[in-house]
């Protein structure tokens, strides 16, 4: 069983049915060596497969999903496809007890011809 991301250290004692002498302790530690692996496994089902099965069928234009552990960058050729995904992504993650980080999640408009020729308003810190 893979538990949701370890946003805190979780200690859990479990015992198989009928064996009171057996006790196992499961610990998931933030910043531990196992955290990126667990994040990859969990998000494979929560994000990657959902994106392939559901989202990509509704997108216009080209797109690219790049993810490492719990970080993701999703690029869209179609501006509205990107906006629509951002609107539903938080809900999707919420179904699994996850949430988008409020200060790290943003929509960056890289279009050369933005409406009105306005520059990007995100400050340019993309990494």
Q: What DSSP string runs through 94-112?
A: HTTT----TTT-------S
β-pairing, 63-68 vs 71-76, is antiparallel
> 26 with 5: CB under 8 angstroms?
no
pLDDT value of position 21:
55
* CA proximity to 2, closest of 44, 48, 65: 44
Query: In tens digits, what is the pLDDT along the chain, a chain of 127 residues?
Result: 334 444 433 444 444 455 555 555 545 555 666 677 888 888 888 999 999 999 888 889 898 889 888 888 888 888 889 899 999 999 999 998 888 888 888 888 877 766 666 655 555 554 4
Runs of H (alpha helix) within the chain: 35-43, 49-50, 79-94
Q: Residue 104 corresponds to which tokens in the numbers above?
A: 């790290």
Compute CA 60 distance to the chain's CA centroid, rounded to the nearest angstrom: 21
Q: Model's pTM, two decimal places?
A: 0.62
Q: Residue 120 corresponds to which tokens in the numbers above?
A: 């990007």
């Amino acid at each position: 069983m893979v538990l949701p991301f370890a946003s805190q250290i979780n200690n859990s004692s479990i015992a198989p049915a009928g064996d009171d002498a057996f006790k196992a302790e499961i610990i998931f530690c933030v910043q531990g060596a196992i955290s990126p692996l667990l994040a990859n496994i969990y998000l494979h089902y929560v994000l990657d497969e959902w994106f392939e099965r559901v989202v990509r069928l509704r997108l216009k234009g080209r797109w690219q999903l790049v993810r490492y552990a719990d970080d993701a960058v999703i690029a869209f050729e179609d501006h509205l496809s990107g906006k629509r995904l951002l609107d539903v992504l938080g809900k999707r993650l919420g179904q699994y007890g996850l949430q988008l980080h409020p200060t790290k999640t943003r929509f960056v408009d890289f279009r050369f011809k933005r409406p009105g020729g306005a520059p990007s308003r995100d400050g340019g810190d993309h990494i």
